[in-house]
Structure 1
């Protein structure tokens, strides 16, 4: 059954369906797609679906405490908005909208370098801390300018993503040729201008059925430049081939020293895209305070383990570590959040479910996403007989039991 409005959505999958109906495929596919055969993308979700919980009967939990401590921040809910690029294609000034909702729920907004809303506006929109995720687009000097700007805007932590040495191949979106559709016709030759018009004519059917989005998109006038990547001449980076930019600006362990110097010793650095205990240890040795176990939502390298399995196998190897552990990938419900926390992470990143809410209905849609997650988490906590996030983490394995079901035919269809 299709839902007809944000208010009717009972799951984040409902919001995803609304987003797909409101936003044209050439845009929504950027947020949906995974690398290669999308095995890891689907595995992220299935890893949670295949986890079995241990519900306790005859228990009554009157007072729930959903707060979690993360790097000096007290989050009112144990999740944060993980950095996602190009959110402004979903909704006008979407990064600032997301920051406002994050503040309303008492949690952190993570802002991507590849965003269309100025970081100062994003930080000002939230009543809670914000984190800035740094790509080295444009080189070291450009990155240092971005780091100093983030400090001045009040961002409290810096996220460094280490799994983007080259952009993963997301085949369906590549075949749509989104960069051809997004580029300006200014400066094109006559032949290229004809091709520019032809590309837009091809998009007419999907745009004609999504006029509200189209009107908002053109009124917003903010998606053709990445305004948080400023070159030496004060010009923002154009909306261009991100894969080439990432390949030219991949972070190495040697970069952490000058990044730390630019960011300052008093503010935390979080390394994102960690797959193994060895990389987590190297991050700690290089001065990071936290790591995010993440396979980039299955968007970078296919055939790597689901994020939940990375947490399950790698975190136990780091019992002596002082790192703060976070994770993202595959979170679609409040029950998923409880499962992740039971492995000991302090909080989880919300990416695609956040995009679903923004795309479905902007601020109202994202509030609905967070409400669904919060209600689902609280319900799961009550049914398993736990009253706080600290208790979930302390009980750990006791909250789960081995699944005796084989295969995945019993699982619901994969939606996103």
Structure 2
């Protein structure tokens, strides 16, 4: 009996006997019925095999696609975690936005751990600090804005978990599916505190520079007027004009130097230098000036060499400025000490030497200490100057890989300390180009 699947014969079912006419028509019908059932069973088995194969192919495809998606997700997370801006992604859950992802930068910026962010609604902020409700309101404002416009940007104050704050630029956008349904919100948080501070510093610099230049220009204009009116005093007026021009030139040169330093356009010509005779020579150059004010100028230094890789021209300007300041701000009979100390160690600089200029002069008020290295800052005094010397000094010292500090008390004098990397036998040798 043939075994058929539709119109296709896939086999035969035979029953043999050695006896003639052993099977009747009824037997043949039963055999055919059995063959038909066998065809159904074979067809079912074939369908089941095809279904299994299709299932296996689908499972393999799903596994492959899942692996691709996981790889893409890992790549995306790596990219987002490498960003310096904070990134947050939230999805709507039961009518409220819940955070699904934050990058490392955002946790560092805000102080909230990833586990605190994930699944949280804006109320997270109100749970941790007094200013939290303000932050919760900011978050809700962003969500509400994005409900009526596709993207929004705002500058706002963000309060960290420890209650400190920073100024941030927050850019947010909504994500929708092809039908326009909201699927999520993404926000980028950029800390602009330093940018704002630099912008304010530039504004102050321009304002101070304008003021400082206006004063000598006014003096020069006045002298020119007097020169016309009093020709018999020409020599006196020309002397004052020359002094005014010198002061203006000094101011402009200081401003240019500070600008170059802040923009990293000034390079050092560093060479290995023994600081002991180097500082001694700078002290001796100011001894006549100090003695002219009845000041005692001392120098204390080790007997052995103290080696450092420095630009002697730049560093001499710094040290000379500190000594001259000490002379200018110390009353007659005072004592100024230049001190060189070696063999120190700083956690950031490493092996280092310290050059200290100490006086017992008028000192600096505590409220002014944090401003002494700011451009154009001058303590209340009759001493003239551009107000840029200490700003330039700090930039030059930091360019050497060191730092400069001040300690002072009003009426008790001041101490400025320059910390510089010191060369020791263990210090790797650097070429001038590497320095």
Asked whether the two chains share a fold, i.e. TM above 0.5, the reply is no
Name the larger-Rg structure: 2
Q: Which has the higher contact order (CA 8 A, sep 6+)?
A: 1
TM-score by length of 2: 0.18
TM-score by length of 1: 0.19
Higher strand share: 2
